[in-house]
Amino acid sequence: MNVLLSSPRGFCAGVRMAIECLNEVIRRIGPEIYVYHQIIHNKRIVDDFIAQGVTFVESLEVVPPGRVLLFSAHGVSPEVRRRARELKLQTIDATCPLVAKVHLEAIRYANAGYHIILIGHAGHDEVIGTMGEAPQSITLVESCDNIANLPFSEFDRIACLTQTTLSVDSTAAIIDALQLRYPKIALPKTEDICYATTNRQDALKDVLASADLLIVVGSQNSSNSRRLQEIGASLDVPSYLVDGASELETEWFRNVETVVITSGASAPEEGVEECVSFLKQRFDAIVREAKFLEEHVQFPLPHDLLTLTAVQTRILVELSD
């Protein structure tokens, strides 16, 4: 069996920054801290932080006053920030800068009188946060089928933004359909789909022609990981999304000569290494790296961390009590 490791794969700069941010907070004040939503959409990473003592919450009301609360890499709405201030929580913002860019674009377009069509997946943390920036001015579109039901005319001021973790090809098709209906639609100067999502999809397409089977390492709630699985399925390559080797089934690989492995932008390399070890042990697999391009993007840690100390946190908790 041949195994091709699609590259680039795994952590993007925003995910890496968010994980480093949470690790740094633990280093400074200990693990008894709170995170609003999962820090990233990866079960392995979240379970590891839970084991250390970190608490992930879906409601701010359960966080005791004065405590440290991290906002996840997916971003939050202004309403969540306002409520956190009311509850006297000490917030650290680990929002990916590329998600923050979309938030700023939403504010700019809304302030300029545009109605914004946001391409994305309903219920995704990133979409909820972005729509919260201008809820009266944003309409969500998930597919080309939704466009016919839009209530706007070609004379209205319309702008288009996208979730950062979408399929490049599907999003392009939706934008083409929007431009056909709204020829004057405004688009941001640079596309919203993040560089890492695009790179991982392009790298995967480059190697799938020789694949009999695709393994995508990532969690089921990871949007960018699911898009990779969909690319394989669209090319009639049997494609599976797994967190690690424990989810692999031997029967998948019967009569398979070439396996391609990639991983989503929120998936740690350990999951890939486990799958490779499984295939080496069971099928004597020969492994080769298929490098499409290299990435060198890095994001700095949030400025909120500069003043965070255990002493300051203890004082805030005592004052809140």
Which positions are annotated as active-site residues?
A: 126
Residues 176 and 66: their CA atoms lie apart, in Å, by 48
- Chain centroid offset of residue 252 CA: 28
Token representation of residue 132: 């919260």
How many Cα atoms occupy the beta-carbon half-sphere of 298 within 13 Å?
A: 4
CB 63 within 8 A of CB 69: yes
Cα 269–chain centre separation = 16
Can you tell me which residue has the tokens 């195994």? 3
Identify the sign of the CA torsion 45, 46, 49, 50: negative
Per-residue tokens: 113 = 């009188």
In the block, residue with structure tokens 């069996």: 1
List the one residue out of 93, 118, 98 whose CA is nearest residue 106. 118
Between 310-320 and 13-29, two packed helices, what is the crossing angle to 10 degrees? 70
Sorted by sequence, the CB contacts under 8 Å of residue 174 that are 6+ apart come out as: 119, 141, 143, 144, 147
Q: Rounded to whole angstroms, how far apart are CA atoms 207 and 315?
A: 55
C-alpha angle 143-145-151 in degrees, rounded to nearest 5: 100
Helical segments of the chain, H only: 13-29, 43-52, 78-86, 97-111, 125-131, 168-181, 195-207, 223-234, 269-283, 310-320
CB 267 within 8 A of CB 6: no
Contact 215, 248 (CB under 8 A): yes
